[in-house]
Chains A and B, each alone.
Chain A
Amino acid sequence: MTSETGFDVRKYDRFPTQEPRPDGELEQLEAAWCGPRRPGEWITAINNNIIGVYYVGAAMLFFVLAGVLALLMRTQLALPMTGFLPQETYNQIFTMHGTVMMFLFAVPAVEALGVLLLPQMLGARDLPFPRLGAYAFWAYLIGGLAFFCSLFFGLAPDGGWFMYPPLTGMTYSPGINADFWLLGIGFIEISAIAGAIEIIVGVLKTRAPGMTLDKLPVFAWAMLIFACMIIIAFPSVILATLLLELERALGWPFFDPLKGGDPMLWQHLFWFFGHPEVYIIFLPAAGAMSTIIPAMARTKLVGHSLVVMAMLATGFISFGVWAHHMFTTGMPQISINYFSAASMAVSVPAGVQVFAWIATIAAGKMRFSTPGLFAVGGLIIFVMGGLTGVMVAMVPFDWQAHDSYFIVAHLHYVLIGGMVFPLFAAIYYWLPMSSMRPLSERMGKWIFWLMFAGHNIAFLPMHLTGLMGMPRRVYTYLPGRGWDLPNFISTIGAFLFGLAVLLWVVDMVRNFRPFGPREAGNIHDGPGLEWLPSGYYSVRSVPLVKSLYPLWEQKGLAKQVEDGRWFLPGAAGGERQTLVTSPLNAEPQYVLRLPRPSPWHVFGAVFTAGFFLILTIQAYAAAVISGVLAVYCIMRWCWFLDTPHSRQTTDIGAGIRVPNYVSGPSSHGWWAMVIVLIVGGMVCLLAGFSYVFLWSRRPDLWQAPPEMTSMLLHLGVLALAGLAAMAAPRILRRAATRPETVATGLLVISAAAVAAGVGLELKAWWSVGLKPDVTSQGASVFALLGWSAAFAAIGALMGLYILLRRAFGRVSAERPSTVDLIGLFLTYAAGQAAAVLLLVRVFPGAGS
């Protein structure tokens, strides 16, 4: 295999080292990674061992809360014409049940599992941005709890979890209930994206040496694809919520047909997120299944490369099925046919994984302890959900079943079989990694059987209820329609499921003991690196990975790792460090200095959540104050990044020295910035789609753009901005005199030019009489330019930030990352603004 980075892989032969380790090395490592000592430090902690546990715990809290809502609904529906819940409350409860399960449980739960497991699984000390991960967690927890509490004030959203306009427009939802959903979910999605950035860079850049793509654990593959899908899909719901909130708050008519809007735009945007969301939830769970089943069957995963290919294929094709939720909306027949075909095709990669699991179970000796039971139970339920999925992919059948309880049954089979059961398998399988005691095997089996029976008793009859015509979302029904008995049975099943969850909570209270001096350890004889002996620092030394199943095939590995015989066995200079490796062959590149706990990311999360939540109740001044404080906290957090290092290189073991700092495309920060820009680009791309879509609905309402000479001027200003931003990093590295000052000046000029270009374009449209609240053209043009203006504003903050860094002597040619990243951002902002400008000026041209 050729080297990816120029690293001489023959150096691997020096490991495991034989010479004795220096005295005090382990103590120094433990001191650098010590856990919280005072109560406040449990809040400011950033270590994935701690944040990961919090994160999983919070997700399970929301699972329990949303489950309680489900039980309230099932109580209401147990008999016809009951008055247990008023209609309005029922609407809020079913909306919150779906929303909390999808946004506050399912996605965060799998993301949390990634944060908790990935560093150990990859042989890293931590993920590359631990403070970002902690920020994402606190933002999610605070935002999620506040969002949930809206129920207690009668302010919870009530338009269903997919919030279709016109029902959720101001005419039919005049209160602030819908605003809670729009701002709350938009904010929580930002937190999910932050977590995804952490996971992508973590999987690609912090793997143990030798962990090439074929040796990358399937769970890590799944998390990588999952996080990439979040980056592509979630911008769609961010844009959708933004547009609907703009319509509600300012009257911009994106979805109002009277002014050229179209409610179908919401459905396209929502489902472009909403359907991949199902696979976003399923893939990590499938990755967990592909890890747990081989371990429980004591054999290798059958068809490993096919399983990875199937996960990749699922990731791609899941973006081609969004409109199968819209078969009844009157789309052109040929489009319906395409989406129907794609919806059937997506079952092929899912089927590949299912057959691989069955073959693995058949090839090995399956142990039906609790994780094994949950894995097999999940497999059965998921296959049943998949089969009804193929049924509803058939358009004529979907027309009959659409919006009936058949769909409710289908989606619960898919999501519970595809995610909840695998998650419980994962909890029972991996919990001994984080707890001094494993969960009770006896109780676990009771929990599994109650849950399995409860699920089927609750949801199997719903297929019939749906086929008998019962629509979803109704708060009650008349007797004598044949729905009474299946509904009653469903309620019994739901309470059995609830009992199972209650027993699980009891089991957790009795046995889960995290953050102790030792863990229960590898009781399942798992083959992955996550089962190596570990502490807060993860593994004592980072091993060279030679197999997909290192603990099964690399004999004596655990002892060697614990003895510090592999890479990075200490904490040079008392720093928290992890090894950064290349994205394909995992060759050592540099040592990343990781941050220590601080309160700024927590304050940042509190004030960011405050900004969005206070905005919901329309206390604008307080919201602005909270927003400013959030920006201050985040800047403060960034202030201590990219600071000088006392040593240029670090010995990572056996005399191999790697740099302590790199900049440009090899650095983790550059990767994170590129991913952020992809998110921004996706929002912009989808806003461009919205613009063209709205034009296609009512071209007669569109007016001509401003005269073309102004466009050339504005493009010129933006080109200047881009050139200045691109030049800054080069000047910093090459200029002979005052490179720091010149580079800073160029960035400030660039930020000002982006703002000027966007501002002038806004003024030009305003001066020709286009108003955002009059037609869909005005709304979409100002939305696109507003998005560019938001980037210009962030660019201006970055300009201020780099000026301050220059004033305090924190800009240096030896450490160019800050200038690189700001330059990259401003180049993108200028390019994006130019693309927006060209779109709105050139298409559709002179108007109709």
Chain B
Amino acid sequence: MKRWLTMTGGLLIWAAHFLGLYLLASAADVWSSPEAASGRWIGLGFSLLCLALVALLASRMLRRPGSDETVGWERRVAVTGALVAAIGIIWQTAPLAF
């Protein structure tokens, strides 16, 4: 399970980030206003946290020992997944500015 989680970790964080932003907006819709500045700052902080997690995961994968074909392949999938996730998280955070 650990290998699956590290291989798909970036994508999992991306999914969690999306869900988190949506839940924050929905909660704000119920309790105050989804457009409120406080909600945007919380969203931004959450996005930075997710980005940091993705970066941490990618750096751990890059340092992972093992040089055989399978380990290298899993590393490639994990790191490119983390890269796509990072772009996705930044893109997904952009609406907070508007």
Instruction: List residues of chain A with CB under 8 Å of any chain B CB.
Output: 1, 212-214, 305-306, 308-309, 312-313, 316-317, 319-320, 332-335, 337-338, 340-342, 344-345, 348-349, 584-585, 696
Q: Known interface pairs A317-B88, A334-B34, A335-B26. Does A341 touch B80 (Cβ–Cβ under 8 Å)?
A: no
Point out the residues of chain A lying under 8 angstroms from B66, CB to CB.
Answer: 1
Residues of chain B within 8 A of A337, CB atoms compared: 95, 98
Contacting pair B81 A312 (CB below 8 A): yes
A10 to B52 alpha-carbon distance, docked (Å): 41
Do B68 and A1 have beta carbons less than 8 Å apart?
Answer: yes
Q: What is the minimal beta-carbon distance from A205 to any residue of chain B, in angstroms? A: 14
Q: Are A338 and B92 in contact (CB under 8 A)?
A: yes
**Quick check: B35 and A348 within 8 Å, CB to CB?**
no
Closest A-B pairs by Cβ, 9 of them: A337-B95, A214-B73, A332-B34, A320-B18, A305-B76, A212-B70, A316-B11, A316-B15, A334-B34
Majority-rule SS of A interface residues: helix
Contact A214 B74 (CB under 8 A): yes
Interface pair B14/A316, CB less than 8 Å apart: yes
- Number of A-B residue pairs with CB-CB distance less than 8 Å in the complex they form: 99
Given A212-B70, A341-B92, A348:B84 Cβ within 8 A: yes
Contacts of B11 in A (CB 8 A): 312-313, 316-317
Contact B29 A332 (CB under 8 A): yes
Interface string of B63-74 (1 = CB under 8 A from A): 000101111011
Are the C-beta atoms of A319 and B98 separated by less than 8 Å?
A: no
* Separation of A309 and B74 alpha carbons in the complex (Å): 10
Q: Which residues of A contact B94 (CB under 8 A)?
A: 341
* Closest Cβ–Cβ distance, residue B17 to chain A (whole Å): 9
Other-chain contact of B77, A308, A344, A348 (Cβ < 8 Å): A308
Q: Given the complex, which residues of A lie within 8 Å of B80, measured CB to CB?
A: 305-306, 309
B44 within 8 A of A: no
Complex: A157 Cα to B87 Cα, angstroms: 43
What's the nearest-Cβ distance from chain B to residue A333, in Å?
7
Instruction: Note all chain B residues with C-beta closer than 8 A to A349.
Output: 84
Report the Cα distance A333→B29, complex, angstroms. 10
A-B contact pairs, 27 of them (CB 8 A): A212-B70, A213-B7, A213-B73, A213-B74, A214-B69, A214-B74, A306-B80, A308-B77, A309-B80, A312-B11, A312-B77, A313-B85, A317-B88, A320-B18, A332-B26, A332-B34, A333-B34, A334-B25, A334-B34, A335-B26, A335-B29, A335-B34, A337-B98, A338-B92, A345-B87, A345-B92, A348-B88
Residue from A316, A317, A696 with most neighbouring chain B CB atoms (10 Å) = A316
CA distance A326 to B97 in the complex (A): 22
Chain B contact-residue range equals: 35 or more
Min C-beta distance of B88 to chain A, whole Å: 5
B5 to chain A, nearest CB (A): 12
B77, A317: Cβ atoms closer than 8 Å: no
Closest Cβ–Cβ distance, residue B42 to chain A (whole Å): 12
> Which one, A212, A214, A334, A345, contacts B35 given CB within 8 A?
A334
Q: Which of B14-61 contact A (CB under 8 A)?
A: 14-15, 18-19, 21-22, 25-26, 28-30, 34-35, 39
The chain A residue sitting closest to B92, CB to CB, is A341
- Chain B residues contacting A585 (CB-CB under 8 Å) are 70
Q: Given A306-B76, A332-B26, A585-B70, list of 6 further CB < 8 A pairs?
A: A213-B70, A313-B84, A334-B39, A338-B18, A338-B21, A345-B88
**A contact residues around B91 at 8 Å (CB):** 341, 344-345
Pick the most buried of A214, A584, A585: most chain B CB atoms within 10 A of its CB.
A214
Q: Are B22 and A313 in contact (CB under 8 A)?
A: no
Q: Which residues from B are CB-within-8-Å of A312?
A: 8, 11, 77, 81
Smallest CB gap from B73: residue in A = A214
Set of chain B residues within 8 Å of A308, measured between Cβ atoms: 77
CB distance from A337 to the nearest CB of B (A): 3
CA of A781 to CA of B91, assembled, Å: 38
Given contacts A1-B70, A313-B84, A344-B91, whether A320 and B19 have CB atoms under 8 Å apart is yes
Q: How far is the CA of A88 from the CA of B26 in the complex (A)?
A: 39
A344: B residues at CB distance < 8 A:
91
B19 CB contacts on chain A under 8 angstroms: 320
Q: B15 near A320 (CB under 8 angstroms)?
A: yes
Residues of A within 8 Å of B76, CB to CB, are 305-306, 309
A320 to chain B, nearest CB (A): 4
Nearest chain B CB to A430 CB, angstrom units:
26
> Which residues of A have CB within 8 Å of B73?
213-214, 305
Closest beta carbon of chain A to B86's beta carbon, Å: 12
On whether the beta carbons of B15 and A319 are closer than 8 Å, the reply is yes
Verify A317–B18 contact, CB threshold 8 A: yes
Q: How far is the CB of A272 from chain B (nearest CB, A)?
A: 11
Question: Which B residues touch A317, using CB under 8 A?
Answer: 11, 14-15, 18, 88
Q: Are B71 and A1 in contact (CB under 8 A)?
A: yes
How far is B91's CA from A317's CA once the two chains are assembled, in angstroms? 13
Alpha-carbon separation in the docked complex, A44 to B84 (Å): 47
**How far in angstroms is the closest Cβ of chain A from B60?**
17
A776 nearest CB across to chain B (Å): 15
| B35:A309 contact, CB within 8 angstroms | no
Determine the residue in chain A with the shortest Cβ distance to B66. A1
CB within 8 A of A309: which of B3, B4, B30, B77?
B77
Closest approach, in angstroms, between the C-beta of B35 and any C-beta of chain A? 6
Alpha-carbon distance A309/B82, docked complex (angstroms): 10
Contacting residues, chain B, for A335 (C-beta < 8 A)? 22, 25-26, 29, 34
Q: For B21, what are the chain A residues with a Cβ–Cβ distance below 8 Å?
A: 338
Q: How far is the CA of A309 from the CA of B75 in the complex (A)?
A: 11
